[in-house]
Structure 1
Amino acid sequence: MKPLIVILLLTVISLVSAESEIVDSRYIGDDYKYSVWSDEAVGFKFEPREGGSDQFYYFCEKTKKKNCGSWVDEKGNKIKSATLKVTLKGGDAILSKLQKKDMGRYYLIAEDLKKDLGFVRLIIQDPPPPPPPKY
Structure 2
Amino acid sequence: MKPLIAILLLAVISLVSAESEIVESRFIGEDYKYSVWSDEAVGFKFEPREGGSDQFYYFCEKTKKKNCGSWVDEKGNKMKSANLKVTLKGGEAVFSKLQKKDTGRYYLIAEDLKKDLGVTRLIIQDPPPPPPPKY
Provide TM-score, normalisation by structure 1: 0.92
- After superposition, the C-alpha distances for 1:28-68 in whole angstroms (9 at most, x for unaligned) are 00000000000000000000000000000000011010000
**1:2 CA displacement:** 4.4
Alpha-carbon distance in structure 1 between the residues aligned to 2:20 and 2:72: 28
* RMSD of aligned alpha carbons: 1.9
- Write out the 4+ residue segments of structure 1 that deviate beyond 4 Å after TM superposition: 1-5
- CA distance in 2 between counterparts of 1:88 and 1:19 reads 26
Deviation at 1:134, TM superposition (A): 1.5
Structure 2 unaligned regions, length at least 5 = none
1:13 Cα deviation from its structure 2 partner: 2.8
3-state DSSP of counterpart to 1:43: strand
User: Aligned residue for 1:115?
Assistant: 115
SS at match of 2:18: helix
For residue 10 of structure 2, what is the aligned residue in structure 1?
10
Determine the C-alpha separation between the residues in 1 that align with 2:132 and 2:5.
55
Query: Aligned partners of 1:61 and 1:3: how far apart in 2?
Result: 56
SS in 1 for 2:124: strand
Q: Count the aligned residue pairs.
A: 135
Deviates more, 1:13-22 or 1:24-33: 13-22
* Maintained 8 Å contact 2:47/2:104: yes
Kindly tell me: are residues 125 and 17 of structure 1, through their superposed partners in 2, closer, same or farther at Cα, counting changes over 3 Å? farther
1:1-135 matches, within 5 Å, as 2=2, 6=6, 9-10=9-10, 12-15=12-15, 17-135=17-135
In the alignment, structure 1 segments of 5+ residues that lack a partner are none
Shift in Å, 1:14: 2.9
**Post-superposition CA distance 1:74-113 (Å, at most 9, x none):** 0000001111000000100000000000000000000000
CA distance in 2, matches of 1:94, 1:131: 29
Between the aligned partners of 2:127 and 2:117, the Cα distance in structure 1 is 31
Q: Distance in 2 between matches of 1:11 and 1:133?
A: 51
CA distance in 1 between partners of 2:10 and 2:102 (Å): 37
Residues of 1 paired with 2:9 and 2:20: CA distance?
Answer: 17
State the TM-score, normalizing by the size of structure 2.
Answer: 0.92
Query: Percentage identity across aligned positions?
Result: 90
